[in-house]
Amino acid sequence: MAKILLTHSPDTRANYYGDRALAGLRALGEVKLNEEEVSLEGEALLSAAADCDLIVSYRQSPAPAALFERLPKLAAFLRCAIDIRNVDVAAASKAGVLVTQASAGFVTSVTELVVGFMIDLSRRVTAHAVSYYSGKVPQAVMGRELRGSTLGVIGYGAIGKELVRVAEALGMRVLICDPYVSTVKTVSMEKLLSESDYVVPLAVANAETENLMNDAAFSKMKQGAFFINVSRGNLVDEAALVRALDSGRIAGCALDVGRAADQMPTPALAARADVIATAHTAGLTLPAIEHQSMETVAQAAEILAGRAPKGSVNAADWRRKALLKS
Protein backbone atom coordinates (compact mmCIF):
# COMPACT_ATOMS: atom_id res chain seq x y z
CA MET A 1 0.00 0.00 0.00
CA ALA A 2 1.29 3.46 -0.92
CA LYS A 3 2.29 5.81 1.88
CA ILE A 4 1.30 9.46 1.52
CA LEU A 5 2.45 12.36 3.72
CA LEU A 6 0.21 15.42 4.06
CA THR A 7 2.32 18.35 5.31
CA HIS A 8 -0.54 20.64 6.35
CA SER A 9 -0.76 21.40 10.08
CA PRO A 10 -4.11 20.65 11.76
CA ASP A 11 -5.30 24.26 11.33
CA THR A 12 -4.26 24.56 7.71
CA ARG A 13 -5.58 21.06 7.03
CA ALA A 14 -9.02 22.15 8.23
CA ASN A 15 -9.02 25.33 6.15
CA TYR A 16 -6.95 24.38 3.13
CA TYR A 17 -7.47 20.66 2.59
CA GLY A 18 -10.66 19.45 4.20
CA ASP A 19 -12.26 16.17 5.19
CA ARG A 20 -13.49 15.20 1.74
CA ALA A 21 -10.03 15.43 0.19
CA LEU A 22 -8.44 13.66 3.15
CA ALA A 23 -10.91 10.81 2.73
CA GLY A 24 -9.99 10.70 -0.95
CA LEU A 25 -6.30 10.34 -0.10
CA ARG A 26 -7.03 7.61 2.45
CA ALA A 27 -8.85 5.65 -0.23
CA LEU A 28 -5.58 5.57 -2.16
CA GLY A 29 -3.20 4.50 0.56
CA GLU A 30 -1.90 4.98 4.09
CA VAL A 31 -1.93 8.70 4.93
CA LYS A 32 0.51 10.12 7.44
CA LEU A 33 -0.66 13.38 9.01
CA ASN A 34 1.34 16.27 10.38
CA GLU A 35 0.11 16.85 13.94
CA GLU A 36 2.47 19.75 14.67
CA GLU A 37 1.15 23.32 14.89
CA VAL A 38 3.21 24.40 11.87
CA SER A 39 3.56 23.07 8.36
CA LEU A 40 6.41 20.62 7.94
CA GLU A 41 9.73 21.79 6.55
CA GLY A 42 13.46 21.13 6.84
CA GLU A 43 14.60 18.16 8.90
CA ALA A 44 11.09 17.67 10.29
CA LEU A 45 9.76 17.18 6.77
CA LEU A 46 12.60 14.84 5.85
CA SER A 47 11.99 12.75 8.94
CA ALA A 48 8.22 12.57 8.45
CA ALA A 49 8.56 11.62 4.79
CA ALA A 50 11.31 9.03 5.25
CA ASP A 51 9.16 6.05 4.21
CA CYS A 52 6.62 7.83 2.02
CA ASP A 53 5.97 7.40 -1.69
CA LEU A 54 4.16 10.71 -2.15
CA ILE A 55 4.19 14.08 -0.38
CA VAL A 56 1.12 16.28 -0.65
CA SER A 57 2.35 19.68 0.39
CA TYR A 58 0.95 22.88 1.84
CA ARG A 59 2.22 26.03 0.11
CA GLN A 60 4.55 26.96 3.01
CA SER A 61 6.55 23.73 3.01
CA PRO A 62 9.74 24.33 0.98
CA ALA A 63 11.09 21.49 -1.13
CA PRO A 64 14.85 22.10 -1.43
CA ALA A 65 17.29 19.84 -3.22
CA ALA A 66 18.00 17.87 -0.02
CA LEU A 67 14.39 16.67 0.07
CA PHE A 68 14.78 14.84 -3.22
CA GLU A 69 18.37 13.75 -2.64
CA ARG A 70 17.77 12.26 0.81
CA LEU A 71 14.43 10.53 0.21
CA PRO A 72 15.24 7.69 -2.21
CA LYS A 73 11.75 6.21 -1.94
CA LEU A 74 9.93 9.43 -2.82
CA ALA A 75 8.22 9.18 -6.21
CA ALA A 76 6.32 12.47 -6.37
CA PHE A 77 5.88 15.83 -4.66
CA LEU A 78 2.37 17.28 -5.06
CA ARG A 79 1.90 20.97 -4.26
CA CYS A 80 -1.64 21.87 -3.20
CA ALA A 81 -1.27 25.34 -4.73
CA ILE A 82 -0.22 26.99 -7.96
CA ASP A 83 2.89 28.60 -6.50
CA ILE A 84 5.93 26.28 -6.67
CA ARG A 85 8.62 28.94 -6.29
CA ASN A 86 9.94 27.27 -3.13
CA VAL A 87 10.21 23.88 -4.83
CA ASP A 88 13.59 23.04 -6.39
CA VAL A 89 12.18 21.54 -9.56
CA ALA A 90 15.63 21.16 -11.13
CA ALA A 91 16.77 19.04 -8.17
CA ALA A 92 13.58 16.99 -8.32
CA SER A 93 14.13 16.35 -12.02
CA LYS A 94 17.74 15.36 -11.41
CA ALA A 95 16.56 12.85 -8.80
CA GLY A 96 13.74 11.59 -11.03
CA VAL A 97 10.96 12.83 -8.73
CA LEU A 98 7.72 14.12 -10.27
CA VAL A 99 6.51 17.57 -9.18
CA THR A 100 2.92 18.67 -9.66
CA GLN A 101 0.99 21.85 -8.96
CA ALA A 102 -2.70 22.60 -8.64
CA SER A 103 -4.66 24.78 -11.02
CA ALA A 104 -6.51 27.97 -10.15
CA GLY A 105 -9.71 27.13 -8.31
CA PHE A 106 -10.06 30.53 -6.68
CA VAL A 107 -10.87 32.70 -9.70
CA THR A 108 -14.41 33.44 -8.53
CA SER A 109 -13.53 34.00 -4.89
CA VAL A 110 -10.64 36.36 -5.66
CA THR A 111 -12.71 38.29 -8.19
CA GLU A 112 -15.52 38.74 -5.69
CA LEU A 113 -13.09 40.05 -3.07
CA VAL A 114 -11.69 42.62 -5.51
CA VAL A 115 -15.21 43.88 -6.18
CA GLY A 116 -15.82 44.02 -2.42
CA PHE A 117 -12.59 45.96 -1.95
CA MET A 118 -13.55 48.47 -4.64
CA ILE A 119 -16.92 49.07 -2.98
CA ASP A 120 -15.37 49.28 0.49
CA LEU A 121 -12.72 51.79 -0.59
CA SER A 122 -15.21 53.88 -2.55
CA ARG A 123 -17.92 53.97 0.11
CA ARG A 124 -15.68 53.84 3.21
CA VAL A 125 -17.51 50.83 4.63
CA THR A 126 -14.67 49.66 6.88
CA ALA A 127 -13.83 53.20 8.03
CA HIS A 128 -17.43 53.85 9.03
CA ALA A 129 -17.73 50.50 10.80
CA VAL A 130 -14.54 51.14 12.79
CA SER A 131 -15.90 54.52 13.89
CA TYR A 132 -19.14 53.00 15.08
CA TYR A 133 -17.29 50.18 16.84
CA SER A 134 -15.35 52.79 18.82
CA GLY A 135 -18.52 54.63 19.83
CA LYS A 136 -18.12 57.49 17.34
CA VAL A 137 -20.41 58.66 14.56
CA PRO A 138 -18.45 58.78 11.30
CA GLN A 139 -18.51 61.81 9.06
CA ALA A 140 -20.62 61.37 5.95
CA VAL A 141 -18.48 61.69 2.82
CA MET A 142 -19.23 61.54 -0.88
CA GLY A 143 -18.84 58.06 -2.34
CA ARG A 144 -17.84 56.85 -5.78
CA GLU A 145 -19.91 54.51 -7.96
CA LEU A 146 -18.27 51.64 -9.79
CA ARG A 147 -20.45 52.24 -12.83
CA GLY A 148 -18.65 54.72 -15.04
CA SER A 149 -15.36 54.37 -13.16
CA THR A 150 -12.23 52.95 -14.78
CA LEU A 151 -10.58 49.74 -13.65
CA GLY A 152 -7.00 49.01 -14.64
CA VAL A 153 -6.06 45.31 -14.71
CA ILE A 154 -2.36 44.46 -15.02
CA GLY A 155 -2.13 40.86 -16.22
CA TYR A 156 -4.81 39.05 -18.19
CA GLY A 157 -4.71 35.55 -16.75
CA ALA A 158 -7.65 33.56 -15.40
CA ILE A 159 -8.45 36.02 -12.61
CA GLY A 160 -7.87 39.01 -14.84
CA LYS A 161 -10.31 37.68 -17.43
CA GLU A 162 -13.02 37.05 -14.85
CA LEU A 163 -12.49 40.42 -13.17
CA VAL A 164 -12.79 42.17 -16.52
CA ARG A 165 -16.01 40.29 -17.27
CA VAL A 166 -17.57 41.20 -13.92
CA ALA A 167 -16.39 44.82 -14.04
CA GLU A 168 -17.84 45.35 -17.49
CA ALA A 169 -21.13 43.82 -16.33
CA LEU A 170 -21.14 46.44 -13.57
CA GLY A 171 -20.77 49.20 -16.15
CA MET A 172 -17.11 49.92 -15.55
CA ARG A 173 -14.63 50.99 -18.20
CA VAL A 174 -11.74 48.51 -18.19
CA LEU A 175 -8.14 48.98 -19.27
CA ILE A 176 -5.88 45.93 -19.63
CA CYS A 177 -2.09 45.89 -19.68
CA ASP A 178 -0.41 42.61 -20.56
CA PRO A 179 2.42 42.47 -23.11
CA TYR A 180 1.99 38.72 -23.55
CA VAL A 181 -1.62 38.60 -24.79
CA SER A 182 -3.00 39.46 -28.21
CA THR A 183 -6.59 38.26 -27.88
CA VAL A 184 -7.89 41.50 -26.33
CA LYS A 185 -7.17 45.18 -26.70
CA THR A 186 -4.42 46.24 -24.31
CA VAL A 187 -2.89 49.56 -23.38
CA SER A 188 0.48 50.71 -22.11
CA MET A 189 1.24 50.61 -18.41
CA GLU A 190 1.50 54.40 -18.39
CA LYS A 191 -1.96 54.87 -19.91
CA LEU A 192 -3.50 52.36 -17.52
CA LEU A 193 -1.97 53.99 -14.45
CA SER A 194 -2.85 57.54 -15.48
CA GLU A 195 -6.49 56.83 -16.33
CA SER A 196 -7.62 54.17 -13.83
CA ASP A 197 -9.66 54.87 -10.71
CA TYR A 198 -8.72 51.41 -9.41
CA VAL A 199 -5.45 49.64 -10.23
CA VAL A 200 -5.27 45.86 -9.70
CA PRO A 201 -2.00 44.05 -10.51
CA LEU A 202 -2.59 40.39 -11.37
CA ALA A 203 0.69 39.65 -13.11
CA VAL A 204 2.69 36.49 -12.43
CA ALA A 205 5.25 36.99 -9.67
CA ASN A 206 8.73 36.47 -11.12
CA ALA A 207 12.01 38.33 -11.55
CA GLU A 208 10.51 40.50 -14.29
CA THR A 209 7.60 41.68 -12.14
CA GLU A 210 9.46 42.06 -8.82
CA ASN A 211 8.50 45.52 -7.45
CA LEU A 212 6.43 46.18 -10.58
CA MET A 213 4.56 48.79 -8.56
CA ASN A 214 7.40 51.07 -7.46
CA ASP A 215 7.85 54.82 -6.99
CA ALA A 216 7.78 55.44 -10.73
CA ALA A 217 4.57 53.44 -11.17
CA PHE A 218 2.75 54.99 -8.21
CA SER A 219 3.75 58.48 -9.38
CA LYS A 220 1.95 57.83 -12.67
CA MET A 221 -1.31 56.79 -11.03
CA LYS A 222 -4.31 59.07 -11.31
CA GLN A 223 -4.59 61.45 -8.37
CA GLY A 224 -7.01 60.00 -5.82
CA ALA A 225 -7.11 56.51 -7.35
CA PHE A 226 -7.20 53.32 -5.29
CA PHE A 227 -4.69 50.46 -5.37
CA ILE A 228 -5.69 46.82 -4.75
CA ASN A 229 -3.35 43.83 -4.46
CA VAL A 230 -4.72 40.30 -4.20
CA SER A 231 -1.96 38.64 -6.23
CA ARG A 232 1.53 38.53 -4.69
CA GLY A 233 3.40 40.85 -2.35
CA ASN A 234 6.43 40.57 -4.65
CA LEU A 235 4.71 42.83 -7.17
CA VAL A 236 4.82 45.81 -4.82
CA ASP A 237 7.61 47.96 -3.41
CA GLU A 238 5.95 48.52 -0.04
CA ALA A 239 8.11 51.53 0.85
CA ALA A 240 6.98 53.14 -2.40
CA LEU A 241 3.36 52.31 -1.59
CA VAL A 242 3.74 54.02 1.79
CA ARG A 243 5.16 57.11 0.11
CA ALA A 244 2.29 57.17 -2.38
CA LEU A 245 -0.23 56.99 0.46
CA ASP A 246 1.58 59.60 2.56
CA SER A 247 1.73 62.01 -0.36
CA GLY A 248 -1.96 61.63 -1.13
CA ARG A 249 -1.20 60.49 -4.68
CA ILE A 250 -3.48 57.50 -4.05
CA ALA A 251 -6.54 57.74 -1.83
CA GLY A 252 -6.16 54.33 -0.24
CA CYS A 253 -5.45 50.71 -0.89
CA ALA A 254 -6.70 47.22 -0.14
CA LEU A 255 -4.36 44.28 0.40
CA ASP A 256 -4.88 40.55 0.74
CA VAL A 257 -1.19 39.79 0.25
CA GLY A 258 2.16 41.26 1.16
CA ARG A 259 5.70 40.48 2.21
CA ALA A 260 4.95 39.12 5.69
CA ALA A 261 5.00 35.40 6.49
CA ASP A 262 2.79 33.22 4.30
CA GLN A 263 2.51 36.12 1.81
CA MET A 264 0.29 38.05 4.20
CA PRO A 265 0.08 41.87 4.32
CA THR A 266 2.84 43.52 6.33
CA PRO A 267 1.26 44.37 9.74
CA ALA A 268 2.55 47.95 9.89
CA LEU A 269 1.14 48.68 6.45
CA ALA A 270 -2.13 46.88 7.15
CA ALA A 271 -2.63 48.94 10.34
CA ARG A 272 -2.86 52.24 8.45
CA ALA A 273 -6.23 53.99 8.43
CA ASP A 274 -6.06 54.36 4.65
CA VAL A 275 -5.51 50.63 4.11
CA ILE A 276 -7.98 47.75 4.16
CA ALA A 277 -6.30 44.39 4.70
CA THR A 278 -7.33 40.76 4.87
CA ALA A 279 -5.12 37.84 5.93
CA HIS A 280 -4.42 36.23 2.53
CA THR A 281 -7.96 34.87 2.43
CA ALA A 282 -9.02 35.86 -1.10
CA GLY A 283 -9.04 32.20 -2.11
CA LEU A 284 -10.36 30.86 1.17
CA THR A 285 -13.81 29.65 0.22
CA LEU A 286 -14.95 26.05 0.23
CA PRO A 287 -15.32 25.72 -3.56
CA ALA A 288 -11.88 27.25 -4.10
CA ILE A 289 -10.14 25.07 -1.53
CA GLU A 290 -11.87 21.87 -2.61
CA HIS A 291 -10.91 22.55 -6.22
CA GLN A 292 -7.20 22.37 -5.38
CA SER A 293 -7.31 19.74 -2.65
CA MET A 294 -9.47 17.36 -4.66
CA GLU A 295 -7.18 17.96 -7.61
CA THR A 296 -4.25 16.61 -5.59
CA VAL A 297 -6.32 13.51 -4.83
CA ALA A 298 -6.92 12.99 -8.55
CA GLN A 299 -3.23 13.60 -9.24
CA ALA A 300 -2.20 11.09 -6.59
CA ALA A 301 -4.51 8.46 -8.12
CA GLU A 302 -2.94 8.98 -11.55
CA ILE A 303 0.58 8.87 -10.13
CA LEU A 304 -0.07 5.63 -8.27
CA ALA A 305 -1.35 4.19 -11.54
CA GLY A 306 1.99 5.10 -13.12
CA ARG A 307 0.72 8.05 -15.14
CA ALA A 308 1.89 11.68 -15.05
CA PRO A 309 -1.27 13.68 -14.25
CA LYS A 310 -2.46 17.07 -15.39
CA GLY A 311 -0.47 19.62 -13.45
CA SER A 312 2.86 17.79 -13.79
CA VAL A 313 5.73 20.22 -14.31
CA ASN A 314 8.59 17.80 -15.07
CA ALA A 315 6.93 14.67 -16.44
CA ALA A 316 9.77 14.02 -18.90
CA ASP A 317 12.18 13.59 -15.98
CA TRP A 318 9.98 11.32 -13.87
CA ARG A 319 12.03 8.16 -13.43
CA ARG A 320 10.99 7.12 -9.94
CA LYS A 321 7.57 5.94 -11.10
CA ALA A 322 9.25 2.54 -11.35
CA LEU A 323 9.44 2.53 -7.53
CA LEU A 324 5.66 2.47 -7.32
CA LYS A 325 5.58 -0.99 -8.90
CA SER A 326 8.12 -2.51 -6.51
pLDDT 10s digits, 21-39: 999 999 999 999 999 998 8
- The CATH class of 3-103+285-325 is alpha beta
Separation of alpha carbons 241 and 215, rounded Å: 7
Q: Is residue 326 scored above 70 in pLDDT? A: no
How far is residue 242 from each of residues 24, 248, 260, 271, 321, measured CA to CA in Å?
46, 10, 15, 12, 50
pLDDT tens digits for range 73-93: 999 999 999 989 999 999 999
Residue 77: the pLDDT is 98
Closest CA to 13 of 232, 296, 252: 296
- Where in the chain do CATH 3.40.50.720 domains reside? 3-103+285-325, 107-277
Mean pLDDT along residues 293-313 = 97
Question: In DSSP terms, which residues pair with 54 in a beta bridge?
Answer: 4, 76
pLDDT at 64 over 60: yes
Return the higher-pLDDT residue of 76 and 60: 76
The reported pLDDT for the residue numbered 240 is 98
2-16 mean pLDDT: 94
Q: What is the pLDDT of residue 104?
A: 87
**Quick one: pLDDT at residue 4?**
97
Can you tell me the mean pLDDT for 114-138? 95
- The CATH code of domain 107-277 reads 3.40.50.720
What is the per-residue pLDDT across 230-259, written as a single tens digit (0 to 9) for each? 999 999 999 999 999 999 999 999 999 999
pTM, two decimal places? 0.86
pLDDT digits (tens, 9 = 90+) for 89-120: 999 999 999 999 999 889 999 999 999 999 99
Q: Give the helix, strand, coil percentages of the chain, each rounded to 5.
A: 40, 15, 45
Tell whether the model's pLDDT for residue 261 goes beyond 90: no
